[in-house]
Amino acid sequence: MAIVKTSPTKHLLVDLDGTLLGNNALPLSVEFVKESMLSLNRFGGWRKSASVLLAIQKEFSTKGLRKNDIRIVELFAKKMELSLEESRSVLRESLFVIFPKLEKYFFPIQGAKEFLDWAKDHYELILATNPVWPPEIVEMRVKWAGIEPKLFSYMTHIREMHACKPSAEYYNGILETKKLKAEECLLIGNDMKMDLPAQRVGIRVFIVGDYKKLTVLEGSRKDAAAWRGSYGHLKELLLGQG
């Protein structure tokens, strides 16, 4: 396939889950829910714990003026009848107990580290992961991918952002926070539903995976094109931009 010429890319926005870090989804989900329920059970039983987990998941699908962290702490405090200080403490303690147990379910995506080792000398790297975890957890998971967090000039996390993927407001938040021009950015992700909405704010998108050829995605916008291919294809595309 011929290389499509685009405006020069200066900033690579890189997704984490499925892009840099793979996982065994079913056992991971079962373990996370089980450990979360055990941790929260003391605040009102299994039913109440399940209810608050579902409420948190629903809250992440919305956007607001307040940061994700504040919204979740307030929701948790209300549901569990705790003070805001107690709510923050319980959530933090639970996460830092649960997450280290989950490492066995994750693995590095083949070709990701090699690509970033090349890209770091040519582009600013920004970790555009769904901002549902605190920065300490995000950095822990980046290391599980075999990548040094310091490779990224900025990481999105729960304490910084006001919206989550696939909301276009999430991507616009990165542009505003970092003062970036959308036409100088390329988002690298693996999930069309979660990552393609970046096009709405003018960011080009590359869906990476085990694909045999580089493809321009159907419906790709002229001002924010989208492609699908392997890490090898991605490097070829970037080199073709000159």
Neighbour tally for 11: CB within 10 Å:
21
pLDDT digits (tens, 9 = 90+) for 208-233: 999 999 999 976 666 799 999 999 99
71 and 130 assigned to the same domain: no
84 and 121 assigned to the same domain: no
The answer to whether residue 30 sits within a structural domain is yes
Q: How far is residue 104's CA from residue 122's CA, in Å, rounded to a whole number?
A: 33
pLDDT score of 150? 97
The answer to whether residue 32 sits within a structural domain is yes
Contact in structure between 17 and 106 (CB atoms under 8 Å): no
CATH number, residue 146? 3.40.50.1000
Average pLDDT of 120-125? 97
The answer to whether residue 48 sits within a structural domain is yes
The answer to whether residue 4 sits within a structural domain is no
pLDDT digits (tens, 9 = 90+) for 30-58: 999 999 999 888 887 888 889 999 999 99
51 and 138 assigned to the same domain: no
Contact partners, residue 25, CB within 8 Å, separation at least 6:
none
79 and 46 assigned to the same domain: yes
Beta strands in 85-170 (DSSP E): 106-108, 124-127, 154-155
pLDDT digits (tens, 9 = 90+) for 180-206: 999 999 999 999 999 999 999 999 999
80 and 122 assigned to the same domain: no
- Give the structural domain span for 154: 11-20+109-240
pLDDT digits (tens, 9 = 90+) for 138-180: 999 999 999 999 999 999 999 999 999 999 999 999 999 999 9
The answer to whether residue 164 sits within a structural domain is yes
Average pLDDT of 82-108? 95
pLDDT digits (tens, 9 = 90+) for 3-16: 444 568 999 999 99
